[in-house]
Amino acid sequence: MSPTRPPGADENEKLVAARLAAARRGDGTPETFRVEWRGQDRNLPVIDMPVAVLYFNPETHRIRAQRAHDPVRDAALADDPWSSQSQAYLHSLLMAKPDNPDIRDPDFLALMDDLKVNAQNTAGLITPSGIVVDGNTRCAALKEIRQPNIRVAVLPEDWGWDDINAVELNLQLRKTFRREYSFINEIIAHSELLAKGRTLEATAAAFRKKKKTIEAGQWALALIDEAIERSHADLDDGTGVRLRRMDFEGHQESLKEIYERYKRVHAENPDLARRLREASLAALLVDASKTAIRNIWLVDDFDEKYLKPKLAPEFRPASTAAKSAGVSIPGLSVTMLPEDSRVEDAKATTDKLLKAKARAAAAAKLSPAESTRTTLLINEAKEAIQKSLSQAERDARQAQKKMAAPDKLDEATDALRACIADIARARAQNILDNEALDDALIGLRDTLSQLARAASRGVSEPGIGLAWLQRATAE
């Protein structure tokens, strides 16, 4: 539902009309601001307006995800976006870091400094009723430095909220001195365009991104929204809590890594892909790095072999036998477990961590005992996941070393072939140093003996190549 009309709309419309008329009567060429308006470029007149009478746009994509930072104030904002309390909440979010609204964003401080030194280089954009369409952050910065006026273009009188959203997104794509949308807010903007019928190709073109980047972002948004639903938990006082989209700010690279790995594995083994996705989500929740998460996908059965044995009892799922009797095979004393049982185990483990993180995000509402339990639970999960990731990294590195050995032998074989040609040329020219060659061959013999011993360890049935090497180096 679109926001209602601001209480000061009538006064603002009169002031805007008067200043537009004055601009038209003025000497010289009036300043204009070009926007895309309903599919056509249009030059809109620019005027000065007092920042004190303008309203921050409650629907701005700039802070769409961050509004959930304070659920009580967000609910009040949804109920009455034009109240002084709601506008103050929007002001605070516009100044804040996307991943931590309790801290001022360094980019916002840089914008304030730029406005102090260079004044306002680019006009903002408002509706005739005084709602800021573009320039919400600049308006907040001007208020902070106590600049009384802001230069703004004015939308036509027949504007609507769909117009506001479309114009805001188009202006965000221009190369001007403005903060980039945060990762979450940008993929939300992509999602809204797609929901309105914009194709992937058109959305990618509009944001100057590759189609696969838009696809990866939408996959990540779906995973985030699913995680939020699964994170719902009831506190000791009966209050329901859950994670918020803004809680996933800062994880852009990790989500991209998970998407790329998931897509490849899912094509061959969907159940394994789902299990590793759960393990990756759990690692993301304890702030594991992108490179650490990558190792989940480079070893065999990370969740079963690495993570599950290290989990505290609180995180271990109920035994599969207790959860399901499985599928009996007629005529045989055999019971087959459901194919997706390990996927469900992985989801159950991640769900417990999601709920714990949701409680931690609502720390102010927790009782002392509940706070202690939640902190302990998260720390236990973090320790288990970090140990599992470290072990997986070691094993993945060792596996890569093992894979490198055949490549090095291939290189050595190529070098020996080149050596054969060199020997033939040297003999043809009667310049071969036979003593030096003999010393080199002794070194080769010793190296081949060492190679035979290393390659034979743990091998009960050697292949043709290893069997030949064992015979050739036997004394």
Q: pLDDT tens, 312-333? A: 888 877 654 445 445 454 554 4
pLDDT of residue 298: 93
pLDDT reported for residue 334:
46
Last residue of a domain, one of 122, 153, 181: 181
Model confidence at 67, pLDDT cuts 50, 70, 90, reads: very high
Evaluate if residue 310 carries a pLDDT over 80. yes
Q: Is 193 domain-assigned?
A: no
In a domain, residue 273? The reply is: yes
pLDDT of residue 180: 72
Between 11 and 400, the higher pLDDT residue: 11
Shared-domain flag, residues 297 and 251? yes
Q: What percent of the chain lies above the pLDDT cut of 70?
A: 93
Please report which confidence band the pLDDT of residue 143 belongs to, taking 50, 70 and 90 as the band edges. very high
Average pLDDT rounded to a whole number, residues 454-470: 86
- Distance (Å, whole) CA 395 – CA 380: 23
Q: Is 441 exposed, middle or buried (0-12, 13-18, 19+ CB in 10 A)?
A: exposed
Would you state the structure tokens that stand for residue 60, as one six-digit string? 């701005």
Residue 101: pLDDT band with limits 50, 70, 90: very high
Q: Quick check: 176 pLDDT over 50?
A: no
Rounded-to-integer distance, Cα 213 and Cα 183, Å = 12
Regarding predicted confidence, which is higher, 74 or 181?
A: 74
Which pLDDT score, from 0 to 100, does residue 329 have? Answer: 47
Give yes or no for residue 403 having a pLDDT over 90: no
> Of 154, 181, 208, at which residue does a domain stop?
181
Report, as an integer, the average pLDDT of 37-55: 92
pLDDT band at 47 (very low <50, low <70, confident <90, very high): very high
Going by pLDDT thresholds of 50, 70 and 90, the confidence category of residue 475 is low
Same domain for 167 and 312?
no
Tokens, residue 211: 């189609």
> Residue 64: is its pLDDT beyond 70?
yes
* pLDDT given for residue 347 in this prediction: 95
Q: Which of 151, 181, 211 is the last residue of a domain?
A: 181
Q: In this structure, which amino acid lies at residue 205? A: A
**Rounded alpha-carbon distances, angstroms, from residue 286 to 242, 365, 381, 382, 394:** 16, 21, 8, 6, 20
* One domain for residues 157 and 24: yes
Beta-carbon count within 10 A of 380 CB = 18
Q: What pLDDT, on the 0 to 100 scale, is given for residue 427?
A: 85
Mean pLDDT over all residues of the chain? Answer: 88
User: Which range has the worst mean pLDDT, 11-20, 31-40, 137-146, 166-175?
Assistant: 166-175
Same domain, 226 and 361: yes
Residue 237 lies in a domain: yes
- Show Cβ contacts of residue 258 under 8 Å, excluding neighbours closer than 6 positions: 220, 223, 277, 280, 281, 284, 293
The pLDDT confidence band at residue 1, using thresholds 50, 70 and 90, is low
Q: Considering only residues 469 and 458, tell me which one the structure prediction assigns the higher pLDDT.
A: 469
Residue 36 has pLDDT above 70, yes or no: yes
Q: How many domains does the chain have?
A: 3
Please report whether residue 381 resides in a domain. yes
**Vertex 451, ends 445 and 453: CA angle to 5°?**
105
Question: Do 33 and 49 form a contact (C-beta atoms < 8 A)?
Answer: no
* 2 against 135, higher pLDDT: 135
Is residue 299 a part of any domain in this protein?
yes
Mean pLDDT is lowest, of 53-67, 95-109, 177-191, 224-238, for 177-191
* Rounded Cα distance, 166 and 37, in Å: 8
Q: Look at 409 and 96; give whichever has higher pLDDT.
A: 96
* Whether residue 162 sits in one domain with residue 32: yes
- Cα(69)–Cα(246) distance, integer angstroms: 8
- Say whether both 63 and 141 belong to one domain: yes
Identify whether the C-beta of residue 320 lies closer than 8 Å to the C-beta of residue 345: yes
289 and 160 in a common domain: no
Residue 338: pLDDT band with limits 50, 70, 90:
low
206 domain-assigned: no
Q: Exposed, middle or buried by CB within 10 Å (0-12, 13-18, 19+), for 72? A: exposed
- Give residue 407's Cα distance to chain centre: 36
Is residue 196 included in any domain, yes or no?
no
- pLDDT tens digits for range 413-451: 888 988 998 898 888 888 888 888 888 898 898 899 999
Q: Could you tell me the pTM of the whole model?
A: 0.70
Whole-angstrom Cα distance, residue 343 to residue 347? 6
pLDDT of residue 336: 46
Q: Is residue 425 part of a domain?
A: no
Would you say 151 and 48 are in contact if contact means Cβ atoms under 8 Å apart?
yes
| Whole-number Å distance between alpha carbons of 255 and 258 | 5
- Tokens, residue 356: 């714990």
Whole-angstrom Cα distance, residue 126 to residue 136? 10
> What pLDDT sits at residue 235?
93
Same domain assignment for residues 368 and 456: no
The verdict on 124 and 70 lying in the same domain is yes
* Structural domain for 455, as ranges: 435-475
pLDDT for position 324: 47
Return the structure tokens found at 6: 């601001």
Q: Are residues 171 and 226 in the same domain?
A: no
Q: Indicate if 439 and 350 belong to the same structural domain.
A: no
pLDDT at res. 177: 43
Most confident range (mean pLDDT) of 72-86, 157-171, 414-428 is 72-86
pLDDT of residue 319: 56
pLDDT at 234 over 50: yes
- Residues 383 and 446 occupy one common structural domain: no
